Amino acid sequence: MSTPAPIAYSFEPTRVGLARLGRIETPHGPIDTPQFMPVGTQATVKALTPGDLHEAGAQMILGNTYHLNLRPTAERIGRLGGLHRFMAWDGPILTDSGGFQVFSLADLRRVDDDGVTFTSHLDGSTHRLTPERAMEIQALLGSDVAMALDQLVDPGSGSDRVAEAMERTHRWAARSLAARGRPDQAVFGIVQGGVDPELRRASVAAIAALPFDGVAIGGLSVGESKAAMSATLDVVARALGDDPRPRYLMGVGSPADFFVAVERGMDLFDCVLPTRVARTGQVWTDAGRLNLRNAAFLDDPAPIDAACACAACRTHSRAYVAHLFRARELLAYRLATLHNVTWTLELMRRLRASLADGTYAALADRIGRAFARSELGV
């Protein structure tokens, strides 16, 4: 008897570019796509409880292989019942492979063809991450989706270096699949290649040829221009063609970028941006970005966003949250984060609805204009 697939994905094309409406079925529940996944690096989405996340509309969250293996360790989480039980989240979880840390912790690691040696930023200890170890860690964590180990480099670091990292990513992808240890865990491969069209086409061909359960697009939103990201997604979308597997654009969380990516056939997104900017007092609304640290909000009795149903908007005023930030009260971070995550997930729900009912262009234009204005400070 054959082992059932760990996930099932069904989608239907829409009339907006290459956009797709779909649903991913996982052992821990369904995911409606396009969908944003809040990031829980250390087994927590900062400042929020699992109950908050459910109320906000989260369907899937992320855990970080590198950080969780340093602390509290994958073996400990495995002994305690896996990541779902450890963090009391009963929905789907995707775990990254540590590939982003190969990029972000460049001063603390050494890469060779076999894997990566990290010097811990916590205590200076040495840790070895290979494709096999990354899969072993993710099996212990028990996530619904595990990522193959990849090497991400700055797309502006030179074509030879980008090509070398891409080829290594392809070899590591095959090794990751060979090391797959759980039949109930899906595995996604990662397309690299910087912003070079030929490299991206070559990477799509290599990753798509392997029996992954989904295809991720890495190496974007790491400093390249918006035009370069859009052009690269065009190349990737054409190269993927009618590939029926879910597509995950890694590290993208800006409201305007969602629309650029959805029109090019992307299904899943993750980013720390909504929670990170919340901790600086920035909140997202249909009017664009508001900075609650500004004195203008100290006498504002309105909610953060009158259309938002989150507890922060139902209960508190802009003036109150602005006061909390000035007083450096911890509640400020919780309220702003709760709002941003709720607003972002609600935006994805509205995006899906607009693809279905023909109002997509109006929504994309409204959000794009609002955030363009707020970025300019007008």
User: Which residues are marked as active site?
Assistant: 96, 270
Asked if residue 274 has a cis previous peptide bond (ω within 30° of 0), the answer is: no
List C-alpha distances in Å: 194 to 155, 157, 171, 243, 273.
4, 9, 17, 21, 21
- The answer to whether 39 and 29 have CB atoms below 8 angstroms apart is no
- Tokens representing 121? 């930023």
- The answer to whether 57 and 346 have CB atoms below 8 angstroms apart is yes
Q: How far apart (Å, rounded) are the C-alpha atoms in residues 213 and 221? A: 23
Q: How far apart (Å, rounded) are the C-alpha atoms in residues 180 and 129? A: 15
- Secondary structure (3-state) at 111: strand
- The answer to whether 109 and 118 have CB atoms below 8 angstroms apart is yes
Strand order in the sheet with 145-147: 35-38, 268-271, 247-249, 214-217, 186-191, 145-147, 93-95, 61-63
Closest by CA position to 338, among listed 93, 52, 89, 58: 52
- The answer to whether 141 and 164 have CB atoms below 8 angstroms apart is no
List C-alpha distances in Å: 101 to 7, 23, 37, 106, 150.
27, 30, 19, 8, 10
CA dihedral 147, 129, 223, 267 (to 10 degrees): 0
Residue-wise DSSP of 280-316? TTEEEETTEEEETTSGGGTT--S-S-TT--SHHHHH-
Secondary structure of the chain: what % helix, strand, coil (to 5)? 45, 20, 40
Residue-wise DSSP of 52-89? HHHHHT---EEE-HHHHHHTT-HHHHHHTT-HHHHHT-
Residue type, 258: F
